[in-house]
Structure 1
Amino acid sequence: MTLTIPTVLTLFRIALIPVLVLVWYLDYSWTNFAAAFIFTIGAITDWLDGWIARRFGMYSAFGAFLDPVADKLAVTVALFLIVQKHPTLFMAILAAIIVGREITISALREWMAEIGERGRVKVAWVGKIKTIVQMVALILLLYFAPIPLAGGEYLFPTFRVGEVLLAVAAFLTLWSGWNYLVAAWPAMRGEKST
Structure 2
Amino acid sequence: MNIPNILTLARIIFIPLLVVLFYLPFAWSMPVAAGLFALASITDWLDGYLARLWDQSTPFGAFLDPVADKLMVVVALALLIERYEALWLTLPALVIIGREIVISALREWMAEMGKRGQVAVSWIGKVKTSLQMIALLVLLAFAPGSSLANIGVATLYLAAVLTLWSMILYLRAAWPHLSRSM
* TM superposition score category, shorter chain reference: over 0.9
Q: 2-side partners of 1:87 and 1:144: how far apart?
A: 15
User: Among 159, 164, 167, which residue is 1:169 paired with?
Assistant: 159
Letter in 2 for 1:166: L
SS at match of 2:114: coil
Shift of 1:72: 0.2
Shift of 1:105: 0.2
Which residue of the partner structure matches residue 95 of structure 1? 93
Moved over 2 A (4+): none
Q: 2-side partners of 1:14 and 1:20: how far apart?
A: 10
SS at match of 1:116: coil
Which residue of the partner structure matches residue 153 of structure 1? none
Shift of 1:143: 0.6
More helix by share: 2
Gaps of at least 5 residues in structure 1 are 147-155
Shift of 1:145: 3.6
Say if 2:150 is the partner of 1:160: yes
Gaps of at least 5 residues in structure 2 are none
Which residue of the partner structure matches residue 59 of structure 2? 61
**How many percent of aligned residue pairs carry the same amino acid?**
52
Q: 2-side partners of 1:145 and 1:37: how far apart?
A: 15
Which residue of the partner structure matches residue 26 of structure 1? 24
User: Among 115, 118, 122, which residue is 1:117 paired with?
Assistant: 115
- Pick the structure with greater CA Rg: 1
Which residue of the partner structure matches residue 151 of structure 1? none
Q: 2-side partners of 1:70 and 1:163: how far apart?
A: 23
Q: 2-side partners of 1:189 and 1:6: how far apart?
A: 38
SS at match of 2:169: helix
SS at match of 2:27: coil
Deviations 1:109-162 (A, max 9, x none): 00000111111101111000000000000000001249xxxxxxxxx8210010
Residues 76-87 of structure 1: pairs in structure 2 closer than 5 A: 76-87=74-85
Contact 1:10-1:46 within 8 A present in 2 as well: yes
